[in-house]
Amino acid sequence: MSEEMKTLEFSQMVKATPEQVYNAITNRNILQGWFSNFVESQPQENGRFYAWWAEGYYTSGVYTQLKENEHVAYTWQGRGEPGVSKVDISLAKQNGGTQVEVKHSELGANGVWEEAVKGLQEGWEGAMENLQFLLEKGIDKRLYERPFLGILIAGLVTDEQVKEFGLPEKAGVALSGALEGTGAAELGLQNNDVVYELGGVKLKIFNDFAVAVQDKKAEDMIDIVYYRDGEKINAELRLSRRPFADVPNDPKELAKQLEEQYAQIDKELDAVLEGVSEEEATKRPEEKEWSAKENLAHLLLSEQSNYMFFSALVGGQRPGGFSNDFGMHAAIADSYASVADLVAALKSAERISVQTVASLPEEFVADKAKYHGLAHAALLGFGSHQRGHFAQMQAAIEAVRS
Amino acid sequence: MAAKTQTLRFERSIAAPINQVYQAFTNSVSLREWLSDSAEFQAKQDGVVCLYWYDGRFVVGRYTKLEKDKLVRMNWQSSFGPQSEQMVQVDFKKNGDQTALTLAHSGLEAGENGQEDIASIKKDWESSLDNLKSVLETGIDQRLFKRPMIGILIDRLINAEIASKEGLPVDHGLELSGVIDGMGAAELSMGDGTIITSLNDIKITNYQDISEAIGNKQAGDVVSATYYMNGQEHQGELKLSARPQAEVPATPQGLAESATQIYGKINDKLDELFQGASAQAAELKPAVDEWSAREVVAHLIAHEQHLAYWGAALERAKGRVSYSANSHQLVAAIANAYPNMAALREGLEQAQKQNVAFLAGLPVEFVARKGSYHRLAQNFLEENKHHAKGHFDQIVAALENAKESIAG
């Protein structure tokens, strides 16, 4: 019995080479930058294709056809869908870029399929836009549009704060300030303000923020209700955009920027260790708190994992996560005869990170999705990890001295 | 009308702490150690459940319920067998110093293949759960342990180009550089220069063909082999042997000592290889995409750092670490970070010292995770020994090539 089958078709022109587009549709690192939140992809015949979205939907299938830089086909069994459908993606080189054609076929037309097909239509439309954005601008469009509040949160309101601020019920988030340049700062939100309601949603748990902004984008306005000194204020808040690094086209330029930032970090480290004896650096302030030297061992391991992470990105391999929590720091710290040796090793590791960036292959750099992905990872939040540990080191040294 | 579904039930008693058994069903790293080749699990409500095997099979789904050290409930779909959405329920109970495990796999529909698919799933669960017991109680992963070896050292793959250039009698196959004493290939008198052209009736044109030929076999099995020695074709029955497992030291201290010995031998060998080599010779690359002797040493440093990173991730049962020590850019960057060969060699020794310290400092809780502890030990000992050996020839070749270039 033949059932009516449906096919969805999508077309998108992307200013990128067919090679770059092909990589974006088959490499799991890049797919995670435009398609879904998690991907497993083995681009070979009968290799698996699995994509998972944070919203809860996932699909699994296998590659049935692959022609490098030209065409892929894979099967698609989406969660909740009554059967297997088929996806075909064709690439055609054009003047100035690549024409991408997507055909999602063998979809059912009735019953459960109706809702599913609606979701797939929307999903693929958004995905095509994301693909173009990532390859042309080097940024994940979903992140680019994700609203950024710019508030510094102290915590959910306590029972005492409900009384103190005269809140009608236990809801709200106490602020410790607002980030410069954001809509929150423009509005004048400050320390001790309590944001009570956002977009009509009372903030009772942290997840309520996500609920409040779910249909909003960066630069949209949102209704906000906040309390200051016991007074209720209604206003409109401009949702900001996340900060994105300005990525230089030349990797040597990027490397130079990193080198300068590392030089600054090194200066700060030298200042922390100025006049500190071996004994002071090696002693733990409390039984379960790291010594200054152990903090350094951790920074060394982090920097080593940093350049291994860059190398994995260049190789298109899955990059390992950064574990903030490596063990055995005492043993590793001990394996360095002196603090000076450990500092030298750290500075050497930093040089390796810089040089890895300076020597990025041309082909990698020409692919905005790949190169900008690495650049953003390298630039954004640079130094905050180290500075956090410098503070820890200073505290440890002070405690040991007293 | 809903098709009738079946439920398979299994029970095991495992001599391991309940939290380890629970972790075996909720942690990606642990899952790979007994059940699948690759796993991605997010142990939370609605979290991702993904299992993959190298033969292409996979299972995807999500958690529907989790209670630490008590129970796990998952929904899943598989790429093989019954296509219905299935449920897997696992319950854990402490029973003295044992953990009692019960597993129920329901929602199984007998499809076109009738009961065959379901019987196959039952068989897989039985051997997987036996493996779980083996890994948690002894550290030994039966899948690796049973993976057969034919005992060959591979030099290169033969193709038509090589064959015509060198006047070989065949245009495909594996050329050996040696054999391992006491194993199947040695028993057939194969050796350096032997070309194996088919195994188990499968024509050998690439490395995957070997997996295809013997992957489903076990130690003790025999496969037909066609091979060439001194230009003559031979047919034989090739015996498959068990994989030798290195002795795993029982304590972190013992592990650190074994690693120290291996590093000592590696360093002595490097001294020997670089004896009399000029700085210039060490830096010469045999070809634009081939490493200089100095870069090979830099690679060894990258490898040690990779082991450190991988080891730490394993100890924390977190994340997956890919191998980036082969990156040309990284190797060049590391080589350049040291002013001369002496400093580079010191850098290698420091990386080794760091790893010895890491091993010596392994916490008791990690040693108790027998499967992970065994894997870690194998990688830092046997595997590392073989890895270094593989690069010694590379150093010799690079230095030889450099000598010629400089002289010529």
B210: domain CATH number is 2.30.42.10
Q: Which domain holds residue A349?
A: 251-401
Of A299, A293, A289, A388, nearest to A331 by C-alpha is A293
DSSP helix/strand/coil, A297: helix
CATH number of the domain that residue A356 is part of? 1.20.120
Return the pLDDT at B302. 95
State the total domains in chain B. 3
**End of a domain among B239, B269, B291?**
B239
pLDDT digits (tens, 9 = 90+) for B191-241: 888 999 999 999 998 776 887 788 778 888 999 999 999 889 999 999 998
Residue among A301, A332, A352 minimizing CB distance to B333: A352
Residue B49 lies in a domain: yes
Are B257 and B229 part of one and the same domain?
Answer: no
Residue A395 lies in a domain: yes
Residue B246 lies in a domain: no
CB proximity under 8 Å: A 96-135 to B: none
Return the pLDDT at A325. 56
Q: Which residues of chain B lie closer than 8 angstroms to A32, CB-CB?
A: none
> Judging by beta carbons within 10 Å of its beta carbon (0-12, 13-18, 19+), is residue A95 exposed, middle or buried?
exposed
The answer to whether the beta carbons of residues B255 and B359 sit under 8 Å apart is yes
Instruction: Read off the DSSP letter of residue A327.
Output: S
Counting Cα atoms < 13 Å in the Cβ hemisphere of B158 gives 25
Token pair in block for residue A323 = 């574990």
Q: Which residues of chain B lie closer than 8 angstroms to A351, CB-CB?
A: 333, 337
Distance (Å) from the alpha carbon of B167 to chain A's nearest alpha carbon: 34
- Cα B119 to chain centroid, rounded: 29
Are B104 and B58 part of one and the same domain?
Answer: yes
Are A237 and A295 part of one and the same domain?
Answer: no
Token pair in block for residue B313 = 């991730």
Low-confidence residues of chain B: pLDDT under 50? 1
**End of a domain among B114, B142, B170?**
B142
Q: Which residues of chain A lie closer than 8 angstroms to B329, CB-CB?
A: 311, 314, 355-356, 359-361
Number of Cβ within 10 Å of residue A321's Cβ equals 14
Are B215 and B268 part of one and the same domain?
Answer: no
CATH number of the domain that residue A193 is part of? 2.30.42.10
DSSP helix/strand/coil, B123: helix
Are A280 and A199 part of one and the same domain?
Answer: no
Number of Cβ within 10 Å of residue B57's Cβ equals 16
Name the closest residue on chain B to residue A359, using Cα atoms: B329
End-to-end CA distance of chain B: 84
| Pairwise CB contact (< 8 Å): B334 & A334 | no
**End of a domain among B239, B273, B289?**
B239
Residue A209 lies in a domain: yes
Report how far residue B89's alpha carbon sits from residue B9's, in angstroms, rounded to the nearest whole number: 9
Name the closest residue on chain A to residue B53, using Cα atoms: A48
Q: Where are the alpha helices (DSSP H) in B14-80?
A: 18-23, 28-32
Token pair in block for residue B256 = 């650190």
Counting Cα atoms < 13 Å in the Cβ hemisphere of A310 gives 33
Residue B112 lies in a domain: yes
Residue A341 lies in a domain: yes
Report how far residue B154's alpha carbon sits from residue B145's, in angstroms, rounded to the nearest whole number: 21
| Pairwise CB contact (< 8 Å): A355 & B333 | yes
Report how far residue B302's alpha carbon sits from residue B310's, in angstroms, rounded to the nearest whole number: 12
- Cα A257 to chain centroid, rounded: 21
Report how far residue A292's alpha carbon sits from residue A389's, in angstroms, rounded to the nearest whole number: 9
Are B286 and B325 part of one and the same domain?
Answer: yes
Return the pLDDT at A395. 96
**Side chain identity at residue B272, one-letter code:** E
Phi, psi of A105, deg, nearest 5? -120, 180
Are A35 and A175 part of one and the same domain?
Answer: no
Name the closest residue on chain A to residue B63, using Cα atoms: A56
Are B38 and B115 part of one and the same domain?
Answer: yes
DSSP codes of every residue in B65-102 = EEETTTEEEEEEEESSS--S-EEEEEEEEEETTEEEEE
Token pair in block for residue B223 = 């496969």
CB proximity under 8 Å: A 311-330 to B: 311-312, 314-315, 317-321, 323, 325-328, 330
Are B341 and B275 part of one and the same domain?
Answer: yes
| Pairwise CB contact (< 8 Å): B40 & A321 | no
Residue among A38, A314, A320 minimizing CB distance to B313: A320
pLDDT digits (tens, 9 = 90+) for B71-104: 999 998 887 777 778 999 999 999 999 999 999 9
> Judging by beta carbons within 10 Å of its beta carbon (0-12, 13-18, 19+), is residue B160 exposed, middle or buried?
exposed
Are B22 and B118 part of one and the same domain?
Answer: yes
CA distances from A180 to A189, A238, A387, B58 (A): 11, 13, 20, 48
Residue B156 lies in a domain: yes
Distance (Å) from the alpha carbon of A130 to chain B's nearest alpha carbon: 23
Percent of chain B with pLDDT over 70: 97
| Pairwise CB contact (< 8 Å): A301 & B312 | yes
Sequential pLDDT tens for chain A (402 residues): 456 899 999 999 999 999 999 999 999 999 999 999 989 898 988 888 989 888 878 898 899 999 999 999 999 999 888 889 999 999 999 999 999 999 999 999 888 899 999 999 999 999 999 999 999 999 999 999 999 999 999 899 999 989 988 899 999 999 999 998 999 999 999 999 999 999 999 999 988 998 999 899 999 999 999 999 889 999 999 999 988 889 999 999 999 999 999 999 999 999 999 999 999 999 999 988 999 999 999 999 899 989 999 999 998 888 876 655 556 788 889 999 999 999 999 999 999 999 999 999 999 999 999 999 999 999 988 999 999 999 999 999 999 998
Burial state string for A237-246 with b = 16 or more CB within 10 A and e = fewer than 16: bbbbbeebbe
Token pair in block for residue A131 = 């693909």
Report how far residue B10's alpha carbon sits from residue B132's, in angstroms, rounded to the nearest whole number: 13
Are A255 and A390 part of one and the same domain?
Answer: yes
Q: Any CB–CB contact under 8 A between A288 and chain B?
A: no
Of B119, B78, B99, nearest to B25 by C-alpha is B99
Token pair in block for residue A316 = 């298109």
Give the full edge-to-edge strand order of the sheet including B58-67: B5-14, B98-109, B86-95, B71-78, B58-67, B48-52, B38-41
Are B287 and B400 part of one and the same domain?
Answer: yes
Return the pLDDT at A321. 65
**End of a domain among A241, A271, A304?**
A241
Name the closest residue on chain B to residue A337, using Cα atoms: B350
Give the full edge-to-edge strand order of the sheet including A85-94: A5-14, A97-108, A85-94, A71-78, A58-67, A48-52, A38-41
Residue B223 lies in a domain: yes
Are B280 and B339 part of one and the same domain?
Answer: yes
State the total domains in chain A. 3
Report how far residue A290's alpha carbon sits from residue B148's, in angstroms, rounded to the nearest whole number: 47
Q: Any CB–CB contact under 8 A between A176 and chain B?
A: no
B57 torsion bin: left (phi>0), alpha (psi -120 to 50), beta (else) = beta
Are B138 and B156 part of one and the same domain?
Answer: no
**End of a domain among A140, A159, A183?**
A140
**End of a domain among A241, A275, A294?**
A241
Q: Any CB–CB contact under 8 A between B358 and chain A?
A: yes
CATH number of the domain that residue B275 is part of? 1.20.120
Are B85 and B160 part of one and the same domain?
Answer: no
Residue A246 lies in a domain: no
Of B37, B47, B43, B53, nearest to B23 by C-alpha is B43
Of A23, A8, A60, nearest to A39 by C-alpha is A60
Name the closest residue on chain A to residue B351, using Cα atoms: A335
Return the pLDDT at B318. 77
Instruction: Read off the DSSP letter of residue A157.
Output: P
Distance (Å) from the alpha carbon of B331 to chain A's nearest alpha carbon: 9
Degrees to nearest 5, angle at CA A163 with A157 and A166: 95
Interface test with B, best of A39, A48, A63 (most B CBs within 10 A): A48
**Side chain identity at residue B16, one-letter code:** A
Q: Which domain holds residue B356?
A: 252-407
CATH number of the domain that residue A75 is part of? 3.30.530.20
Are B223 and B277 part of one and the same domain?
Answer: no
Report how far residue A36's alpha carbon sits from residue A79's, in angstroms, rounded to the nearest whole number: 14
Name the closest residue on chain B to residue A346, using Cα atoms: B337
Return the pLDDT at B1. 44
Residue A279 lies in a domain: yes
